[in-house]
Amino acid sequence: MVFEPPQRLVRALGETAPEDDDWLEKLPQVAHEAVAQRELTVERVQVPGGRSSLVVLVRTADGGPAVLKLAPRRARPESERAALARWDGRGAVRLLEDPPSSTSSSSPSGAEGVLLLERLHPDMSVRTLPEAKALLEAAGTLRRLWVDPPEEHGFETVATRTGRQARAMRASASADPEVAPLVEAALTAREELLAEPPEHRLLHGTFRQSKVLSGERMPWLAVGPDPVVGEHAFDLARLVRDRVEDLIAQPSGAATTRRRVKRLAESLEVDRERLRGWTLFRAVESGVRARRVGRERDAELLLEFAGWL
């Protein structure tokens, strides 16, 4: 089996890869070793796949369907593993092997960055549903993920993650005065929101409709978290801008966006202004980052959307 990374993955990792990164070069060998250690039978590489990992559809030794996911360290796969273990299949895809530990010999060697997961239906996401139904199902799935983190967790916090993002946004604004007003508004919103967070829960971190797949065990399950600990509004904010290209194309896009903020805030009992603030910050951060790596069309859509908030 040739483990050829999809071009979508190659392009996405190329935007963020540090100098001299060789993860893609080592990927075929790592994939072969992971398959052999687990006695898996490979069906195919999932295409187009994700932007941060190689996803391979496999069969376990007993013939059961599964997914083998391989991700570089900068994608924080071990944080994903810890979050999936915490959720234990409640609202999210289930781990099919125990997290590796120094005292256990049951986990395959070289397990870092390699996850064996329950097989869902990769081509059937919530995004295939009509918009109103999609938002309803996605919001219901997200609610199940909001649990208390372990007492001594190693998850990144919203304050830490957005602090790192804020520094990059300031640098971009200095070099690109056109985005400076939106960046300033987003940074001001962040400072106000972090002053008094209403809760500290385990969050998905990168939740959107395409991250909710159809399953056998439950109708819809979340995949691909980049977990973080913080308030509910931060997690919900990414969902607000789903199908942003459709929103921008609507003459009433701005009004539709404001209604969506209101509806999602009410349905998940989140403060509307906090949701609006985090939606603004996350949209501007994504838009500035897209412009920085040359994805001008994405940047235009996101920054126009942010201007409506």
Walk me through the domains of the chain, giving residue ranges and CATH numbers.
7-118 (3.30.200.20), 126-307 (3.90.1200.10)
Ramachandran region, residue 285 (left: φ > 0; alpha: ψ -120 to 50; beta: rest): alpha
Return the structure tokens found at 168.
């990059």
User: CA 17, CA 11: separation in Å to the nearest integer?
Assistant: 10
**Would you tell me how many other CB atoms lie within 10 Å of the CB of residue 174?**
10
User: For position 225, what pLDDT does the model report?
Assistant: 97
Task: Collect all residues with Cβ–Cβ distance below 8 Å to 300 and sequence separation of at least 6.
Answer: 287
Bridge-based pairing of strands 201-203 and 228-230 is antiparallel
Residue 301: per-residue pLDDT: 96
Tell me the three state secondary structure of residue 213. Answer: strand
The predicted pLDDT at position 111 comes to 58
Looking up tokens 């065990």 gives: 217
Distance CA 175, CA 179 (A): 9
Per-residue confidence (pLDDT) for residue 212, from 0 to 100: 98
Profile the chain (309 residues) by mean pLDDT over runs of 10 residues. 84 80 91 95 90 94 96 94 97 88 46 90 94 94 97 94 97 91 97 96 97 96 98 97 94 94 96 98 97 94 96
186, with CB counted inside 10 A (0-12, 13-18, 19+), is: buried
Task: Spell out the residues 6+ positions from residue 271 whose beta carbon is closer than 8 angstroms to its own.
Answer: 198, 233, 265
For residue 41, the cross-strand partners are 59
Are 75 and 34 in contact by the 8 Å Cβ rule? The answer is no
Nearest Cα neighbor of 120 from 67, 68, 70, 44 is 67
- Provide the pairing of β-strand 212-214 with 114-118: unpaired
Distance, CA of 87 to CA of 92 (rounded, Å): 7
Predicted pLDDT of residue 105: 43
SS3 50: coil
DSSP state of 179: G
> What tokens does 44 get?
């195919």
